Amino acid sequence: MLNIQGQPRAIAHLQRVLGSGRLASTWIFFGPPGVGKFSTALALAKTCLCENPQQRANGAGTKKSLAGLSDDFQLTLACGHCDSCNAVEFSAHPDLHVVSRNLIRYHDRGGKSKGTTLSINVIRGEITGDDSPEHRVEPKLYHRPIRGRGKWFIIDEADLMELPAQNALLKALEEPPLNSYIVMITRSPGELLGTIRSRSQIVEFRPLPAAVLAAQLKQRGVDESRARLLARLTDGSLGHALAWLQDPGGKHEDEDQADGEKEEFSGPAIFQWIQRLSGAMDNLLLGRSGGMTAAQIVQSCAEQYAKIILRHDPLSSKDRAVRDGAIVMLGFISEWFDDRLRYALGAQIEASLPSGTQALKPEIVDRCMNACRRAQAELDRNAHVGLLLAATATDWEQAMQHLEPLTI
């Protein structure tokens, strides 16, 4: 559990609970994607299922310690060597069940689900059971633990549970069996029923600090400048940073540039996107190309993002993946505008985006960043991606028209 990075408050809270011996049966771990929620849930289950849990003082010797706890606080940790710990490590523990939307293909009786939600069939099949005569399923939640140290159910992306699925789970939470534990992982606890939230212990996970994220990336072989840039652009999500680094993205040549000015981009996908988007915005600012060209490049990057998502998760919605990609790309462009503002104000830039331009007047930056935020909100409300990006890029172009960049 001490290996979870950047979440000292959450881990300290869980250690206090373990030390008290009063572990709640239902938990909600919420926060942005990729910040350690799922890893912490696995670590908590591993600790509780361990056959030989270890106790040691928080400040013992040179070992890792937790901020927020006194040096003499007794930590409860998994031994990491027993059969139970090894089974958790290899995803083979009979009393640990991970419930995800990918299971819809196993439980979908109609065979038509795209797996974009957690249906009642998944919750019944994996947790609560179904006592209807035509589809009888034994409730795993009420089975005796096979190894005798409790049963654990981790529901990933719990906010995707459909209302019937949440109601089925709620009935089980009203009278939870002894030594059975449920941890719901979510980015949006508000999507869960209030009656589920009221029966759960809620733990917040925050975006990882940039320094922690950059250090983690450097440990994985990423050079310092790229690590700092990724730490800035991934909103504190180590999961996102690693996923984008692991995908090579292939080679891409911008066809939207004039002959003789085409540029080929290669390397991890995220750095391709940053280079292409920064180049598009530089060209727009310098009058080398128009808003429609910028919009086309943003959409092209969003579509590449969607392909990566669908390659890793074939059950995802292509339309949703393109929308999410456009939201991500608009976020990168907002950071490009933020650099222009910092240049204008003479403020420090910790990890600047690659660019051939510098300062822009604050009022122009404000208008363009507001256009990015409005577009991101509209994409969440299912606006047409192409039309919205074209309108947004036109707004950028009009804001920059006839205005010379500031020089510092």
Question: For 203-256, how does the pLDDT look when each residue is reduced to its tens digit (9 = 90+)?
Answer: 999 999 988 999 999 998 888 989 999 999 988 899 888 887 877 655 555 544
Contact 107, 121 (CB under 8 A): yes
Average pLDDT score over residue span 184-198: 95
Q: Taking 60 as the threshold, does the pLDDT of residue 403 lie above it? A: no
- Distance CA(338)–CA(349), nearest Å, equals 9
Contact 26, 174 (CB under 8 A): no
Mean pLDDT estimate for the chain? 88
Closest CA to 28 of 43, 2, 10: 10
Phi, psi (deg, nearest 5) at residue 237: -110, 105
What single letter denotes the amino acid at residue 85?
A: C
What's the longest Cα–Cα distance across the chain? 76
pTM over 0.95: no
- Distance CA(275)–CA(320), nearest Å, equals 24
Tally of CB atoms within 10 A around 21:
7
Q: Taking 90 as the threshold, does the pLDDT of residue 267 lie above it? A: no
For the ranges 180-189, 264-273, 283-292, the lowest mean pLDDT is seen at: 264-273
Question: For 98-155, how does the pLDDT look when each residue is reduced to its tens digit (9 = 90+)?
Answer: 999 888 777 775 555 566 788 898 999 999 998 777 778 888 999 999 988 999 999 9
pLDDT of residue 84: 96
> Per-domain residue ranges for the chain?
8-204, 247-400
Average pLDDT score over residue span 284-290: 92
**CATH 3.40.50.300 at 8-204, yes or no:** yes
